[in-house]
A and B are shown apart, each in its own frame.
Chain A
Amino acid sequence: MSDGLHPAVVSAQPSQRDEKNPDAPLFEGEYQDRLEKILSRYPFKRAALLPVLNMAQQVRGWISPDTIKRVAEILELSPAYVRSVASFYTMFQLRPAGKYLIQVCTGIGCDLCGAEDVVEGLLKATGTRIGETSADGKYTVVEVECLAGCGFPTMVQINDRMYENVKAEDVEGLLKELD
């Protein structure tokens, strides 16, 4: 990767949001097997909430109210409780995001090294506000707390790909890279 942008972790399962069908069947076929495997690992159903949510997000791209209800049913929890837990973690998308979900770390390490400027640059370049999806449906920029790469500030995660040492002036190249 050029311009000093290093893709750090490349996910085994690239998750481009637009490839996901938000109404895809949950917990069917191979996912049914995975669900059973997950459940078998925990002493009680509630304990499986995070991995099950994670899987649902992989299938559907985001955690919709319908997904919450389904997960609640399967794990015998109240839907409100599932929403509460899902909302605690910034990794769960409770709103549909654009094709590229851009998560900028504004944790203490990155913040001290100019994360605010990176956020500002991204918002300007994509013409959005925090959490909004750009008009062309391509970009959603959100702030997150600590992407566990504090040694390489500012950390940015775009879909499942991590970028280290992002500076405000890298923003343009970064976005170009995506297309």
Chain B
Amino acid sequence: MNDEKKLLNVTIDGVELEVPAGTTILAAAERVGAVIPRYCYHPGLSAPAVCRMCLVEVEGAPKPLASCVQPVQDDMVVHTNTAQARKARRAAVEFLLMNHPLDCPICDAAGQCELQDYAFETGQLKTRYVEPKLVMGRDKVTPEIVYFADRCILCTRCVRFMDEIAKDPVLVVINRGQRGYIDTMTGELFENPFSINIVDVCPVGALVNEDFLFKARAWDLDQTASICPGCSQGCNVSLGTKEERIVRAKPRFNPEVNSYWMCDHGRKTVINWGAGARIEVPMARDGDELKPVDWPQALDALSEAIGNEPGRARAIVSAGASNESLFTLRRLMEELGSDGGVFRVPTGPEAELPGFPKLKLRRDRVPNAKGAELLGFQRSDAVFDSAQGHRGALFVLEDTLEGAPDGFGTNAELFVYIGTRLNPAARSADIVLPSTTFAEMAGTFTNFEGRVQRFEQALRGPGLARPWWLTGSALLERLGAGGRYRTAAEVFAALASEVSEYEGLNYEVLGLKGAGAPGSSAAATAG
């Protein structure tokens, strides 16, 4: 133990620093801002040192050393960018490019490819290899992942992900040398709930997700920090968006929640969330019909209806709604006299990532069940029962109303539907307000263990759709029931001052990695 704490002196590119014994040169170099090119090394995997891309010059060493595995020694003097180091790396790249098709113009990885980056950086723009290139073609490895063998640089990151993290060692290198390629036991497709992570770890365009294949160029995507809504784990993700559509979700590193990984179900959920015809304008009942209105009219209608004292309020909410939206609804219900609200939770089988067991695709396939609970809403398997015969005010917040019984909400004095899709049951509402999805607003979700995590707005909502907390707080202001919130951060601040579990938290404290609410099991690990 003492040994591990021992600090060693090292000089990297002229900068002196101290690092704990056991630190690799590559990791130490990162601390002084020197990013050493690497292919086989991935921070979430073991380092086999097979690519020779990370070679650096170490004074006194007879030849360049592989910095990804070479531990720092006391008083070591390292040069990451001398002629010798550059020459070694240039040779590595030249070998890798020997049979590489260089089909960057049609390669999904172009623009985010480490081979492109380092080939460019090492500056050898022409090959000296004149023989015809070996052509191997492509094949599927899972029902949705395509493997382009010619682009593969045999770094074995995918092999190690399946072996070390998924603990499902289905991928291996077949053959050797330039004829080597990645395959399964008999070439059959494999399936694993975390398979698409192999696409993320691939440093080149050899493994690509069909979902994204040929859809967009990496440099055309906007990236937004977000949270996966696929289950109560709350994986940190980065949404790649283009022309107001989510084209992919990639995991965003968070050592407390998902490390570098996320599950396949989550990726699909992100892309499909909010797909389909949307409610784009507010609507108010006019006799038998729902008529489109503008926001001032909608708010007029709503405050008038509330002024008529429709009776106590009940609600069915979605556990996919943000804490801010749920809190705003709770405030409004309190104005009317709250009769309680319920939410339902679709479930599915749990799947653990054995190499990082903190990450599980959780049974609860919604992102904010815990948040809804902390705000006083109740989980229920029969959400329609309590609302069905209710005679006062009935609010539905973002529940799809799928499976609602006939005549749902017709007994209510006032039935307000706030959501994104107009299912038949929502058509009997008196007032319909379009709201936004998690991708179209800023907000927070509280994951299964009480960790509160922020997501940022990635898309514009369609038409006149607005986050409910914005609509709701405008309404509260009209009713003389509190100040108007201009940002999600303000709503959260108000929430945190009212709900003890969130005490001391605000958007700044949460940052983009989230924090546990004091008293929750996540508190100790909050960062």
> Chain A: residues with CB nearer than 8 A to chain B?
65, 68, 78-81, 83-84, 87-88
Contacts and interface: CB of A to CB of B under 8 A. Distances in A.
Contacts of B155: none
B186 A65 contact: yes
Interface string B171-209: 111111000000111100000000000000000000000
9 contacts: A65-B185, A68-B185, A78-B169, A80-B170, A80-B171, A80-B183, A83-B183, A83-B185, A83-B186
B507 to A, nearest CB: 47
A64 to B, nearest CB: 10
A87 B177 CA distance: 11
Range class of the B interface residue count: 10 to 19
A88 B176 contact: yes
Contacts of A79: 185
Contacts of B171: 80
B175 A88 contact: yes
Given A65-B185, A68-B185, A80 B176 contact: no
B175 A87 contact: yes
Given A65-B186, A84-B172, 9 more contacts: A80-B169, A80-B170, A80-B172, A81-B172, A83-B183, A83-B185, A87-B175, A88-B173, A88-B176
A80 B175 contact: no
A128 to B, nearest CB: 19
A83 B176 contact: no
Nearest to B171: A80
Contacts of B169: 78, 80-81
Given A78-B169, A80-B169, A87 B174 contact: yes
Contacts of A84: 172-174
A81 to B, nearest CB: 6
Contacts of A78: 169-170, 172, 185
Nearest to B190: A80
Contacts of A88: 173, 175-176
Nearest to A65: B186
Contacts of A81: 169, 172
Contacts of A87: 174-176
Interface string B151-178: 0000000000000000001111111100
A88 B173 CA distance: 9
A84 B172 CA distance: 6
Nearest to B182: A84
A79 B174 CA distance: 12
Nearest to B169: A78
Nearest to A81: B172
A78 B175 CA distance: 17
B24 to A, nearest CB: 27
Contacts of B183: 80, 83
A150 B336 CA distance: 94
Contacts of B174: 83-84, 87
A87 B172 CA distance: 10
Contacts of A83: 172, 174, 183, 185-186
Contacts of B186: 65, 83
Nearest to A84: B172
Interface string B294-314: 000000000000000000000
**Chain B CB within 10 Å — which of A65, A68, A78, A80 has the most?**
A80
A88 B177 CA distance: 9
B157 to A, nearest CB: 16
Nearest to B174: A87
A78 B163 CA distance: 10
A76 B172 CA distance: 16
A83 B169 CA distance: 12
B159 to A, nearest CB: 9
A83 B174 CA distance: 7
Contacts of A65: 185-186
Nearest to B177: A145
Nearest to B170: A80
A84 B169 CA distance: 12
A163 B185 CA distance: 34
Q: Quick one: which of A68, A83, A84, A87 has the most chain B CB within 10 A?
A: A84
Nearest to A68: B185
A81 B185 CA distance: 8
Contacts of B184: 80
A73 to B, nearest CB: 13
Contacts of A80: 169-172, 183-185
A79 B169 CA distance: 9
Nearest to B168: A78
A143 B185 CA distance: 24
A142 to B, nearest CB: 12
A164 B34 CA distance: 54
A65 B186 CA distance: 7
Nearest to A89: B176
B162 to A, nearest CB: 9
Contacts of B176: 87-88
A65 B175 CA distance: 15
